[in-house]
Amino acid sequence: MHSLAPLFQLKEISLSCCGDVGSFPRFFYHQHDLQYLDLSNIYFKGNQFPHWLLENNTLLEKLVLTNSSLSGPLQLPFASQTRLSHLEISCNFFNGNIPVEIGAQLPALRYLDLSKNNLEGKFLSENSYLPNLMELLLDGNNFSGGIPDFLSTSPFLLTLDVSNNQLSGRIPRWMGNMFRRELSCPIIILREQSQLRGTLPDALRNSSTLVTLDISDNFLSGSIPSWIGGVSNLSYLLLSKNNFQGETPMELCKLSHLSLINLSHNNLSGRIPPCLKITTLQDVSEDYVGRLMARKFPIKNVSNSYKGRIIPYISGIDLSCNKLVANIPYEFGNFYKLLVLNLSHNSLTGPIPPTFVNLKQIESLDLSYNNLRLNFLAYFIVSFNNLSGKTPPRIAQFGTFHESSYKENPFLCGEPLPKCADNGPSLSMPNSSTNNDEDDD
């Protein structure tokens, strides 16, 4: 009965994923010992941020209201809430500014997720000092202006994601000093719809602890600096859709922990460094894996991106849509864990390296729109799949491949397999017009 005070007090409540329930149940007004509350994916239509929950529960440490259809301005409690360290209210309909007093009212915040709302203005004011902040997620809003310098006074900041906003200006120099500290796997994400300009700041030169740098979809220019090789622990380097030019620096070969590199949609020229090293993340902390799972990393020249639990286990190279020339390095065939390789829309020449036979894990390979040739293709096998239709005409190299290259594809026929029956059932191919969201070629 919502009108009666309950005879018990709870410390933890998790009621996630219950759908449309109307307004907040009144029994929450009578709970005063809560330490953890998760009401995500419950649609409280018409409700604003429940600041009274914080006022009634001074012991509350973690509040999760993700995807709860909350709207209106973000109203904080009147009194300072000194215990709340985790506030996750993403995917709602909040609007207006982040309250100036957020640092004074919630001084213990370590994790703040306000992503995917309609918030605007400067994303934090100079008075919003958050000394314990470790992760700040503000992506998918309408924040404008530059990245505030006062964030440099947050000594524990590990993750900064302000992508999908309307930011402008330059990348501040203090970022480099921040990520020289003894932090655990810091992440910088500044991509998409932002208008950051200038060059990569030299301040990042010795950011030896930085693991993820994603500054895609901006207006950065100049060359990719050679000091990037000094960011020794970098695993994810995503600089696509900028105005970088010049040659791809050989110093990238110093990045021995590199898992994903996306330099697509720039004006890079010259040869592809043959000494690149691509691996997968190993022996990383569970905390870092958890933070990566919330991110999305575009690495293919299509709409889908890698995200979630697969992130720590993928490796990929995307150098498409540049002005790269000469041969594809044969060393690329030695990346046996490589999932994605996109070198399309360049001016590459020569043969496709025969070492590509070693790419056992590859699931997306795009070499289109180049000047490559197949003169030296010596190994081709597509056995044990679900291919259908006819085998390729037995001309050039395809005339040398035996039945073992095609076996165990139940609906595949033609030489060197048995011929297709003229009166057999027709094998209809999928209608490409029925699936416009995926690239199935």
pTM attached to this predicted model: 0.69
- For the stretch 28-41, pLDDT in tens is 888 888 999 999 99
DSSP 8-state symbol, 152: G
pLDDT of residue 319: 94
Dihedral sign from CA coordinates of 232, 237, 242, 247: positive
77 domain-assigned = yes
Of 54-58, 59-63, 187-191, 423-427, the range with the lowest mean pLDDT is 423-427
Q: Identify whether the C-beta of residue 411 lies closer than 8 Å to the C-beta of residue 389.
A: yes
- For the stretch 268-325, pLDDT in tens is 999 999 998 887 765 455 555 555 545 555 555 433 455 545 566 678 899 999 999 9
The helix/strand/coil state of 433 is: helix
Q: What 3 state SS string does 251-290 have?
A: HHHHCCCCCEEECCCCEEEECCCCCCCCCCCCCCCHHHHH
Q: Per-residue pLDDT averaged across 104-116, rounded?
A: 92
- For the stretch 138-156, pLDDT in tens is 999 998 888 887 787 778 8
301 or 344: which leads in pLDDT: 344
139 domain-assigned = no
436 domain-assigned = no
> Are residue 127 and residue 190 in the same domain, yes or no?
no
> Are residue 342 and residue 324 in the same domain, yes or no?
yes
pLDDT of residue 182: 56
Boundary of a domain, candidates 342, 357, 378: 378
Boundary of a domain, candidates 357, 378, 399: 378
pLDDT of residue 178: 64
> Are residue 284 and residue 222 in the same domain, yes or no?
yes
Q: Which of 81, 94, 6, 80 is nearest to 44 (CA)?
A: 94
- Whether the pLDDT of residue 437 is over 50: the answer is no
> Are residue 283 and residue 210 in the same domain, yes or no?
yes
Q: What 3 state SS string does the chain have?
A: CCCCCCCCCCCEEECCCCEECCCCCHHHHHCCCCCEEECCCEECCCCCCCHHHHHHCCCCCEEECCCCCCEEECCCCCCCCCCCCEEECCCCEEEECCCCCHHHHCCCCCEEECCCCEEEECCCCCCCCCCCCCEEECCCCEEEECCCHHHHHCCCCCEEECCCCEEEEECCCHHHHHCCCCCCCCEEECCCCCEEEECCCHHHCCCCCCCEEECCCCEEEEECCHHHHHCCCCCEEECCCCEEEEECCHHHHHCCCCCEEECCCCEEEECCCCCCCCCCCCCCCHHHHHHHHCCEECCCCCCCCEEHHHHHHCCEEECCCCEEEECCCHHHHHCCCCCEEECCCCEEEEECCHHHHHCCCCCEEECCCCEEECCCCCCCCCCCCCCEEECCCCCHHHHHCCHHHCCCCCEEECCCCCCCCCCCCCCCCCCHHHCCCCCCC
Name residue 296's beta-bridge partners. Answer: 307
pLDDT of residue 2: 54
> Are residue 115 and residue 222 in the same domain, yes or no?
no
DSSP 8-state symbol, 49: -
- Whether the pLDDT of residue 416 is over 80: the answer is yes
> Are residue 115 and residue 24 in the same domain, yes or no?
yes
> Are residue 393 and residue 258 in the same domain, yes or no?
no
166 domain-assigned = no
Which CATH number goes with the domain that contains 208? Answer: 3.80.10.10
pLDDT of residue 433: 39
188 domain-assigned = yes
pLDDT of residue 60: 93
73 or 192: which leads in pLDDT: 73
Name residue 297's beta-bridge partners. Answer: 306
- For the stretch 149-184, pLDDT in tens is 778 777 888 888 888 888 888 888 777 666 655 565
Which residues, including other chains, have CB under 8 Å from residue 353's CB and lie 6 or more apart? 327, 328, 329, 330, 332, 333
261 or 180: which leads in pLDDT: 261
168 domain-assigned = no
Q: Per-residue pLDDT averaged across 433-437, rounded?
A: 42
> Are residue 94 and residue 214 in the same domain, yes or no?
no
- Whether the pLDDT of residue 185 is over 70: the answer is no
DSSP 366-402: E--SSEEE-TT-------SS--EEEPPPS-GGGGG--
- Whether the pLDDT of residue 120 is over 70: the answer is yes
Question: Which of 26-30, 184-188, 432-436 shows the highest mean pLDDT?
Answer: 26-30
155 domain-assigned = no
Split at pLDDT 50, 70, 90, the class of 440 is: very low
| Domains held by the chain: number | 3
Q: Which helix (H) or strand (E) covers residue 317, if one does?
A: strand 316-318
> Are residue 284 and residue 372 in the same domain, yes or no?
yes
pLDDT of residue 56: 87
- Whether the pLDDT of residue 103 is over 90: the answer is no
> Are residue 241 and residue 285 in the same domain, yes or no?
yes
Percent of the chain whose predicted confidence (pLDDT) is above 90: 21
Pairwise CA distance, residues 139 & 192, whole Å: 9
- Whether the pLDDT of residue 129 is over 50: the answer is yes
Dihedral sign from CA coordinates of 5, 8, 13, 18: negative
What range defines the domain where residue 395 resides? 388-427
Q: Which of 145, 144, 148, 139 is nearest to 117 (CA)?
A: 139
Name residue 268's beta-bridge partners. Answer: 246
167 domain-assigned = no
Which residues, including other chains, have CB under 8 Å from residue 1's CB and lie 6 or more apart? none
> Are residue 408 and residue 360 in the same domain, yes or no?
no
Split at pLDDT 50, 70, 90, the class of 432 is: very low
- For the stretch 351-408, pLDDT in tens is 888 888 888 888 888 888 888 876 555 667 777 777 788 888 887 667 778 888 888 8
> Are residue 349 and residue 230 in the same domain, yes or no?
yes
- For the stretch 53-102, pLDDT in tens is 888 889 999 999 999 888 889 888 888 888 999 999 999 999 999 888 88
Boundary of a domain, candidates 105, 133, 161: 133
